[in-house]
Each structure stands twice: as C-alpha cells, then as structure tokens.
Homo-oligomer: A and B are copies of this chain.
C-alpha cells in the first residue's frame, strides 16, 4: 500500500501517517520528492484498510498494490488445480462437458436430458431443483423432490450431479444428493451461503455475479476457501452491460485473466451468457479456444415446453455437434475430453438404456 501525500503536505502530517501505521503494527517508508511525499506501507493490508488513511490531513490518495485474496491466488500456488467431481476431473489437462436441463421439471424430462447429455459425451449432469427467479410468480423449482429426480438420473446414467443451492440452510440437504454444489450469479455476494458451501465437504461451482468484477469474484471464492474448501471451479456466465441483443455479455477475457490471477479452474456457461440457442455452439468454441477448462450447457428434450430458459436449451443434434466441436478444438490444443469416472458403468448403463 502506498500513501500519496498532497503537494503541500506538512512534515507533521507525514509523521502522523507514519505514526498511525506503526501504531497498527506496520512499517512505513517515507520518500520525499520535489513536489510530493510518498509513504510506502509494509504489513497487514486488512489492518491498514481499517485505518481510514485517506481521511488523515495532507493525504491525497492511498493506492493498494497487493491482491486482497490469498488462498485462491496463484501467487502461492503456481499450478492450476484439478478439481474432481464424483471422480470426473475439471482442470488444465482436459476439457469437461457439463450438460443438463436448466430446471428439473419431471423425472421423464430429467432422465431424457441426462441420456442426451451422456450420449453426446458429457461427463457431468447439471440441473436445478432450486431456481432463483426474478418473479415470485415464476416456477421456483421442485425442491427436494427435484433432488431425488436428479439422483435417479445419476443412477440411470452414471453422471455425477451439479446442482444449485440458494439458501445457506438448505446446504446440508442439497449436499446429501449433489456431487457438486453450485452458487448462482444472484448469490455471488451472499456471504452466508458462500461460507456454508465452504463447509459442506463438496466441490463448489461458483458462478460470477452478473455485476461482479473479477476481483470480487475471486473474493467470493476466498469466502468458500476460507472455510477449508479449495475444491472450487469458477464459472463465467456473462456480465450485465448496455448491449441488448444478448441476455448478458460473455466476458471471454475473464478466462485467461482468472488463470493469471488464480489457480482455480474456470469454465464457461454459454447458455446463460447468450440466452440464445444459436449462440451456444460458437461461444463454446470460443470458450475452449480462449483456454477454459470446460463448458456447461442447457439441454432439454423439448425446449418449447421448458418451464425455464427454453430459448437457450440445446436439443440432441445440437449437443452432438457441440461435443464434436469441443473434441476437435481440444485435440488442437492438446487437451482431450475429460472422461467419466466409471466408464464401464457408463457403458453398462447405456446398453441397458
């Protein structure tokens, strides 16, 4: 942290800054220039931030120069992590395809979607039993009944399940059924929920808030990590901008930037970013090309009947095309598709199906 004094700051004012910093257990280094004095601080940043240094007389600016996150930072952990979800890897050596219905509606619809996912090479099943919706009059998900349907779909296909939890106090229940807990974009700064999933003993899929800076997103991950859980996968799903032609604006640059700043893997959700079925394939290609560790897409056996986000759901033929494209792209980049944890079981299941 650097304190920039005003041009006419008095020596006593500089001394006051030094005293405050030292009283707080830090060290201060004064550099007197011709027009300004600069004070460099060494010590605990979190403590310095409580000192309200900008309010001290003679202080012009305070500039932070360290990253505010530690556990998820790449600085102390130079290799990208690989996170295992029910035995399926998400990480730098593979490309992981996650697919499933936006919302669990019925057992038939969910199992059909799971089979579509499996047939096309997806290795994790997504699906929402708890749906945060802007309107209280919209379909809110089936709750625990939906979790049971997901468990059935897992049994039928062998695909481990990723599902969202929206309330801290549902975490134990959802963790009983899920292989991975998802925190959605609207809960990106629901700190009670982040701490609860951090303590749940399950890997976490953390979506970026649609107004979150990359730094805020990593701080949210730090909340999870602080509870002892570093099995976190970040998911870029678009940010809110002025452009109306897509539901949100996919911030594709966030993928390589997060890889620079953090050791956590990053995947992309092109379905929610674009909100349009015709964008899912090109955005998925872009995601893998830019270096994402996987993609997560909405599929539905009958999108025109979907209770949630039908316009963005892929059908079986789309999904097969997507899977082929990802395999080709992965080959080019030296990254094979992630394999299922229990391939024999999959074959068996598929034969039975």
A77 within 8 A of B: no
Contact call B253/A279, Cβ cutoff below 8 A? yes
* Binary CB contact string for chain A from 274 to 318 against chain B (1 if under 8 A, 0 otherwise): 100011001101111111000000000001111100110000000
In the assembled complex, which residues on chain B have CB atoms less than 8 Å from the CB atom of A250? 251-253
* Binary CB contact string for chain A from 69 to 86 against chain B (1 if under 8 A, 0 otherwise): 100000000000000000
- The minimal Cβ–Cβ distance linking A225 to chain B, given in whole angstroms, is 9
Q: Report the stretch among A90-98, A111-119, A209-217 that lies at the interface.
A: A209-217
* Binary CB contact string for chain A from 47 to 73 against chain B (1 if under 8 A, 0 otherwise): 001111011100011010100110000
Say how many copies of this protein the assembly contains.
4
Q: Report the stretch among A128-136, A144-152, A174-182 that lies at the interface.
A: A128-136
A27 within 8 A of B: yes
In the assembled complex, which residues on chain B have CB atoms less than 8 Å from the CB atom of A223? 136
A46 within 8 A of B: yes
Contact A30/B31 with A61-B65, A169-B168, A252-B252 known, Cβ cut-off 8 Å: yes
In the assembled complex, which residues on chain B have CB atoms less than 8 Å from the CB atom of A192? 166-167
Contact call B31/A304, Cβ cutoff below 8 A? no
Q: Please, could you name 5 A-B residue pairs with CB atoms under 8 Å apart, sorted by A?
A: A33-B42, A36-B65, A46-B135, A215-B245, A253-B279
Contact A29/B31 with A65-B61, A167-B192 known, Cβ cut-off 8 Å: yes
Identify which of B52, B191, B328 contacts A304 (C-beta below 8 A): B52
Identify which of B29, B46, B168, B186 contacts A32 (C-beta below 8 A): B29
Identify which of B36, B222, B239, B260 contacts A135 (C-beta below 8 A): B222
Q: Which residue of B lies closest to A238 (CB)?
A: B253
Q: Label chain A's interface by main secondary structure.
A: mixed
In the assembled complex, which residues on chain B have CB atoms less than 8 Å from the CB atom of A69? 135
- The minimal Cβ–Cβ distance linking A252 to chain B, given in whole angstroms, is 4
Contact call A46/B289, Cβ cutoff below 8 A? no
Q: Which residue of B lies closest to A75 (CB)?
A: B7
Within 8 A of B (CB), among A231-284: 239-246, 249-257, 260, 273-274, 278-279, 282-283
In the assembled complex, which residues on chain B have CB atoms less than 8 Å from the CB atom of A65? 4, 36, 60-61
Contact A289/B291 with A50-B307, A56-B304, A135-B68 known, Cβ cut-off 8 Å: no
Give the top 5 A-B pairs by smallest Cβ distance, nearest first: A211-B211, A31-B31, A52-B310, A289-B289, A186-B189
A109 within 8 A of B: no
A349 within 8 A of B: no
Contact A240/B242 with A2-B2, A33-B42, A186-B190 known, Cβ cut-off 8 Å: yes
Identify which of B33, B42, B135 contacts A29 (C-beta below 8 A): B33
Chain B CB within 10 A, most for which of A40, A42, A226, A274: A40
Contact call B136/A219, Cβ cutoff below 8 A? yes
- The minimal Cβ–Cβ distance linking A178 to chain B, given in whole angstroms, is 18
Task: Give the CA-CA distance A243 to B187 in the complex, in Å.
Answer: 19
- The minimal Cβ–Cβ distance linking A168 to chain B, given in whole angstroms, is 6
Task: Give the CA-CA distance A254 to B282 in the complex, in Å.
Answer: 11
Task: Give the CA-CA distance A242 to B209 in the complex, in Å.
Answer: 12
Contact call A311/B219, Cβ cutoff below 8 A? no
- The minimal Cβ–Cβ distance linking A70 to chain B, given in whole angstroms, is 8
Task: Give the CA-CA distance A189 to B131 in the complex, in Å.
Answer: 12
Contact call A246/B257, Cβ cutoff below 8 A? yes
